[in-house]
Every structure is written in C-alpha cells, then in structure tokens.
Structure 1
Amino acid sequence: MLTHLQKGCTTKEIRERTGHVVALKNISFSVKKGEIFVLMGLSGCGKSTLLRCLNRLISPTAGSILLDGEDIASVSTERMRTIRRSRMGMVFQSFALLPHKNIQDNVAFGLEIQGISAEERAGIAKETLDLVGLSGYENSYPDQLSGGMKQRVGLARAIASSPDILLMDEAFSALDPMIRRDMQNELLDIQDRLEKTIIFVSHDLDEALKLGTRIGLMKAGEIVQIGTPEEILTQPKNEFVERFVEDVDLSRVLTAKDVMKVPDPMIHASSGPHVALRMMKEAGISTIFVVAKNRELKGIITADDALRAGKEGLTLQDIIIPDVVTLSLDTPVADIIPVIADSKFPIAVINEEKRLKGVIVRGSVLAALGRTGASL
C-alpha cells in the first residue's frame, strides 16, 4: 500500500488494487506544551484515528510520533504501556466508566494499575473530583449520575494520574447543548489551573473555536490547514476551509484582544492639559486616556475639558473622568457591541492588573465584523 501511495495513487485506486483503506496520509504537525490543539473535520475525515495513533491504540503503518524526542511509534508494547500510564490520559465520548465500581474507585482506577496505595489514591481521587465539581459523589455509582456528571468522572480519571498530555475524543459530543457548554467552560477552567497539553477531537466548529489555542482542520485523512481560531476564520487556505467556516458568527469568536487598537497616544497623570491638547490635536482625536505608573488606567479626559483646564489653570487631576467603561482582553465582540453602542467615549481594554492594553472604537469593531458581512 505504501508503494502505491508513494507513486501518487489516489486512496480510491489503492482501495481497488489492494483492498486497504488509507486512513491518514502526509500528516505532520507539532503540539506546543500547555496548549489545547483541536483536531476537527467532518465525520470520517480521520481525526479520531489520528488521535488513537498518538497513544498507539492504533499503530501507524509508517512514520514517527515524537514525544520529547522519543519515537513512540517504534517503542515496545511494554514501554508504550508505561507511557500511557504515566504521561497520557484519555477521555472517551462514551464515558467508559466501570459500572461495578463507585465514582471514587473509577477515578482512582489508573492509579490502582500503577500500584499506588489505596490510601494515597483515595486522597488523589477526592482532590480530583473536587477539581471537576463532583465532591460528595465519591460513593455513587455511574448509573446514578447524569451524562454530564459521568463525563466529569471520565475527565477526573484522566487527570488523576497527573499526565502531561490529555487526549480527548469527541468528549462532549454526546451531551445536551447546555451541559456541553458547561463542560467546555469546566475544561477551560481546569486548563487555567493545570496547564496540560490537550489534543481535543471535535466535529463542531463552534466548540473548536471556543476551546482551541490552535486548530488542525482535516479532510479525507489529511490536515488541510493549521492555525489559530482567528486565522482559520479570516485566512482560509482553500475553498474547503472557506466553506467550512462561512456560517460562523464572528462576533462570538473574536474578542476584545482581536479588535482593539494600540492605546497610542495616552498621557501620564503627571502631565498637564496643554500637553494633552497637543497630543490629541496631533492624533486627530477628541479624548485621551490617562495612565499612571506601569500604564495603570486612571481615566479619560476630553479636548474640551483640557482646553478649559488650560484657561483656568487646572491640572489633569481636576478634569479626569475616572468612571470609564473597561473590558477584559477576552470579552467576546458580541458582548462589546451593546457596550460601545451606549458609550460616548472609546472603550478601554485592561488586564488583571488594570493596565491599559488597548482601545476599542466603533470603527475597529465594524472593520472586524466586516470580514463576514456582519454589522452593529
């Protein structure tokens, strides 16, 4: 089969000549430590097969799979078992819980296989259940839980052994939409705390855009484009990708970080009104943000107030408007639209330390949404 593939035969020709199916071909990508890399595509494109190759549940016919420089495609079965137990966790779509074990023992099952003492694995299981919001359900059994709760148990079992890598195969696709959104948010919260390397398989574009640091879009056993969610949406490499993303509501994907402008100019709180007026005149703006040390946002001043302050001998402190509207970097554009529509001033984008990181004006939002024909 490989000979036919190297000669340029199509997958259809190979199947007709050899009876074999080419599930994956010409796959090459890397995953960065601590990111959520989403493999997505239509049913049958090979994404789940690819995920199972990564932990050798399916052994690839050819090629290498490098984990910190070690080619796990060629290691022994025993070595692969050790890698799975210590470095990889997997969450399945079907939950795959053991019905005869309670929830605590299900979560601790991998630790039991590793030979960890009953007392230690019970402690780890309880901590992990608390992490996924299931504290108090240790003695329940799988048939007593809802679908969302079962999936939380599956996630807890995967992370209980503290693996470096989590492989998640359509982990939330069997859940109701509301529970699915809750699980997506739960995963993002856990990722903020644990910073695992996660490879997540999904056929749902909205899910991929929400979860993925980067996305690998697959078609017929090949990866056709890899990029950040915004790159996939705004820079599709071919017609297939373009069609795949054409119905996405960009306002629910882009965030303040994607549409904000560099906050230039801005003025330090120790400056004076004449300096503020000059900076606004040169930039062609009628307001300017005031910052203190380390760009900590103090407020905004208008050109009219700066002109008045210059005439009356006032300082910037006398005319600062402190109650300005602020947004975080990850605020979705969909939430920005009503805010900016009601605000007479530009919107300040700040980080957790209240440092000014960007400015949002109506025009920058319109420009971003204009890529998909949306409007305010």
Structure 2
Amino acid sequence: MDHPKIAIRNLYKLFGSNPEAMIPYVKSGMGKAELLKEHAHVIGLQDINIDMRRGDITVIMGLSGSGKSTLIRHLNGLIKPTTGDILLDGTNVARYAGASLRELRRFRMSMVFQNFALMPHMRVHENVELAQRVRGDDEGDARKNALEWIERLGLKGFERHYPHQLSGGMQQRVGIARALASNSDVMLMDEAFSALDPLIRTDMQNLLLDLQKDLEKTIVFITHDLDESLKIADHLIILKDGVVVQQGEPQDIVLNPADIYVRKFVNDINRGRVLRAESVMVPGIIEGAGTSGAVDADDNLETVIARSDGDVGKAFVVTRDGIPAGVIRMQDVFKALVPRRFDQEQTSDNSPAIITQRQEHAS
C-alpha cells in the first residue's frame, strides 16, 4: 500500500486565551458563532483529516476566512495545532520545535508566497541560492544549481537583475526557482499566482504543470479560484469555516457536489472545458457500441463535441496511453454539461457517487 506523503489527522486550531479547554465544546457540537459569543474563542480549523499523495498537486480552496492559509501554515510549523497530528512520511511533525523544525523547513519543505517574498537587496541568482546558502551548502554547488533552475524557469540573462527590475510574473518565477533549488520533498504554494494578471497567471499555471511532469513533487497549493483548482489539482479539498465540506478528484466534485455550498462553486464553470472524457465514459469496451473513432481520456468535452459535429447519436472509444479504456456516448456528454440538481433528501452518505464531508480517520 502506498502511504500518503502527508497525512493530517483530527486537526483542530482554535484561537483564544485557552484554546485547549475549548476543544470539548467544539467536539460536542458548539458552532463558530456560539463559541465566539459564549467563550470568546474562534474556530480556525475543525477536525481536518486529509491524505496527500506523494507526487500529487493537492489544492486547498475556499472563500476568504475558510481556513486554507491557516491549514497550509500548519504543515511547516508556522502555526501550531491546538490538537491533532501532521504526519510527514509517517513521522508526526506537528510538535516539532527548535532544531527539528529548522531542519524541516530547510530540507523537507519549501514555500512560494503570494507576494513573492524576494530579498530586494539581492540579485536574482542570490535569491535563488538563498535556501541553499542558509542551510550551509557549498557555495559553488549552490551557484551552479541556482543557475540551472534560473535557466529552466526562463530567467537566463536576468541573473544579476534585482527584483524591482522584473515584472510580477518574472518575480514569481524567481520565487519558484528558489523553492525548487532547495530540492525539498514538499513545495507549499500559498495563493502563489493570485497577484498576477490573468494571462501571466495562466502562463504560470502551465509552467507549474510542465515542471510537475518531470519533477513529480508533492505540492500543496492554496487558491480561492475554482478554475485554477480544476486546472492543476490531482486532489481537491474545499473548506468552509474551517471544515472540509468535500474532497476528492476535481472531476468527481464537479459532477457530484456534496452540498449547496459546493454546488454554488461549480455551477458557473464551463463544464465542457473542465470535464474530461474519462469522467463521462462507460468503463470497459462495449461490443457493438457503433463507435465513430477514438478520443483520448484527457480530452475535454468541448473536444469530444467538436469530433461528433453535435450528433447526439454518436459514440467514441476512449483510449488511455493508446489502450482502449471505455466508451463515451454523446448523449452522456450533453447530460454532463447540465449541472446536477441537488436534492438533499436524495443525498445518501453511503452513495459511492458522492464524496461527502465525512472523511476517513486513521485506523
């Protein structure tokens, strides 16, 4: 069994003068407003249970105040939990302090910030070398490694520029190069592209995905943008008021929102551009399906519709790496374009089609 790179178990974060004493109230069902009114404490995170697979991009999204930045800052010890565990390769790092915490930040986790967080008095190559220099790497090795990442991130020729001489997109490339140059296991990205213009933001998303194909880093990415989440996420987590309301594969969440809150997120997206053929196909090869050719499992539904010329009677074989994986019928494609009606009375906790907010706890 492939164990998760990061496992968060029963994590609570309360803010106030005596947060540990408030945990029983929260566990017994006291809500955020009631806890604030009666005990002057704030619920930041409540009973978080998440598995983050190695080599995946895990995206945590939610509106402002949902707890997403609070959660990511628990991973590298910038915030300590009130109670709960954070397991990195099976080791609980939630209570790390002193030398062990410094080692975690220097060697195991790097971070890319929304506001770039570059040193204004340092040139590009010095910023990229910074993490390596701080932990005592050989100066020559640090410079060589930094220059390799500078070139790979499209910054060759700007090595001796200062941050203020670069555009926002280029500054963020420097931030990503610095994180990658540290060669850490895990890269944390807190609203990393939110300050960028839309076109530059799209370029940075594409750059991240291209790099990830080769690097297979474990990336935790925070955003409030659903389109960005659906584009880059292998595993998507949606937070509301410090609680995970739904998590799973992005395609499943779009097709099966767990509640009205999630449905509001996904209703206005272009489903044809987001959903892939693999999510709508009937798995396995169906004899006599009358297919009209083949489409790739990763083709979006807009591509499939274009292939069909809008003919609802057509069907296509869906291939993955050139191997047939199923059949997609155009009538199912057009049905998938219509947001599912949410009927709370028909939603079952035991329904395999729906990823509920009830998460698996460590056994």
Shorter chain as denominator, the TM-score bin is: 0.7 to 0.9
Matched, 1:166 2:134: no
Matched, 1:59 2:80: yes
Separation (CA, whole Å) in 2 of partners of 1:195 and 1:71: 23
Q: 1:96–1:235: structure 2 CA closer, same or farther, 3 Å change rule?
A: same
Equivalent residue, structure 2, for 1:336? 304
> Which range moved further: 247-256 or 175-184?
247-256
- The question of whether the paired residues in 2 share the 8 Å contact of 1:22 and 1:221 is answered with yes
Matched, 1:368 2:336: yes
Q: Which amino acid aligns with 1:248?
A: I
- The question of whether the paired residues in 2 share the 8 Å contact of 1:168 and 1:201 is answered with yes
Deviation at 1:125, TM superposition (A): 0.6
Separation (CA, whole Å) in 2 of partners of 1:11 and 1:63: 19
Q: 2:111 aligns with which of 90, 96, 99?
A: 90
Separation (CA, whole Å) in 2 of partners of 1:23 and 1:44: 9
Deviation at 1:18, TM superposition (A): 3.4
Matched, 1:133 2:154: yes
> Which range moved further: 357-366 or 37-46?
357-366
Equivalent residue, structure 1, for 2:222? 201
TM-score by length of 2: 0.81
Q: Which amino acid aligns with 2:231?
A: K
Equivalences for 1:213-224 in 2 at 5 Å?
213-224=234-245
Deviation at 1:144, TM superposition (A): 1.2
- The question of whether the paired residues in 1 share the 8 Å contact of 2:255 and 2:336 is answered with no
Deviation at 1:118, TM superposition (A): 1.5
Separation (CA, whole Å) in 2 of partners of 1:213 and 1:88: 19
Equivalences for 1:99-248 in 2 at 5 Å?
99-248=120-269
Q: 1:29 aligns with which of 31, 50, 53?
A: 50
Deviation at 1:175, TM superposition (A): 0.6
Higher helix share: 1
Deviation at 1:284, TM superposition (A): 6.3
Classify the secondary structure of the residue corresponding to 1:135: coil
Higher strand share: 2
Unaligned runs of 5+ in 1: 266-278, 289-323
- The question of whether the paired residues in 1 share the 8 Å contact of 2:125 and 2:143 is answered with yes
Separation (CA, whole Å) in 2 of partners of 1:260 and 1:350: 10
Q: Which amino acid aligns with 2:265?
A: F
Separation (CA, whole Å) in 2 of partners of 1:13 and 1:346: 54
> Which range moved further: 21-30 or 49-58?
21-30
> Which range moved further: 126-135 or 95-104?
126-135
Separation (CA, whole Å) in 1 of partners of 2:153 and 2:340: 37
**Deviation per residue, 1:110-130 (Å, 9 max, x gap):** 000111121101111111122
Equivalent residue, structure 2, for 1:295? none
Equivalent residue, structure 1, for 2:18? none
Deviation at 1:34, TM superposition (A): 0.9
- The question of whether the paired residues in 1 share the 8 Å contact of 2:80 and 2:95 is answered with no
Separation (CA, whole Å) in 2 of partners of 1:188 and 1:134: 18
Separation (CA, whole Å) in 1 of partners of 2:37 and 2:332: 54
- The question of whether the paired residues in 2 share the 8 Å contact of 1:340 and 1:361 is answered with no
Higher relative contact order (CA 8 A, sep 6+): 2
Separation (CA, whole Å) in 2 of partners of 1:56 and 1:28: 17
Separation (CA, whole Å) in 2 of partners of 1:122 and 1:55: 26
Q: 1:56–1:366: structure 2 CA closer, same or farther, 3 Å change rule?
A: same
Separation (CA, whole Å) in 1 of partners of 2:76 and 2:301: 38
Equivalent residue, structure 2, for 1:319? none
Separation (CA, whole Å) in 1 of partners of 2:211 and 2:254: 26
- The question of whether the paired residues in 1 share the 8 Å contact of 2:108 and 2:186 is answered with yes
Deviation at 1:98, TM superposition (A): 0.5
Q: 1:370–1:10: structure 2 CA closer, same or farther, 3 Å change rule?
A: closer
Deviation at 1:188, TM superposition (A): 0.6
Equivalent residue, structure 1, for 2:38? 17
Deviation at 1:355, TM superposition (A): 3.7
**Deviation per residue, 1:92-137 (Å, 9 max, x gap):** 0000000111111101100001111211011111111222222222
- The question of whether the paired residues in 2 share the 8 Å contact of 1:169 and 1:201 is answered with yes
Classify the secondary structure of the residue corresponding to 2:60: strand
Q: Which amino acid aligns with 2:126?
A: D
Q: 1:252 aligns with which of 273, 290, 293?
A: 273
Equivalences for 1:231-310 in 2 at 5 Å?
231-262=252-283, 264=285, 283=288, 285=290
**Deviation per residue, 1:61-102 (Å, 9 max, x gap):** 211111112111122222011011111011100000001111
Separation (CA, whole Å) in 2 of partners of 1:284 and 1:358: 10
Q: Which amino acid aligns with 1:77?
A: G
Q: Which amino acid aligns with 2:275?
A: L
Unaligned runs of 5+ in 2: 1-21, 342-363
Deviation at 1:5, TM superposition (A): 2.3
Classify the secondary structure of the residue corresponding to 2:51: coil
Deviation at 1:232, TM superposition (A): 1.1
Computing the radius of gyration from Cα coordinates, the structure with the larger value is 1
Separation (CA, whole Å) in 2 of partners of 1:329 and 1:123: 40
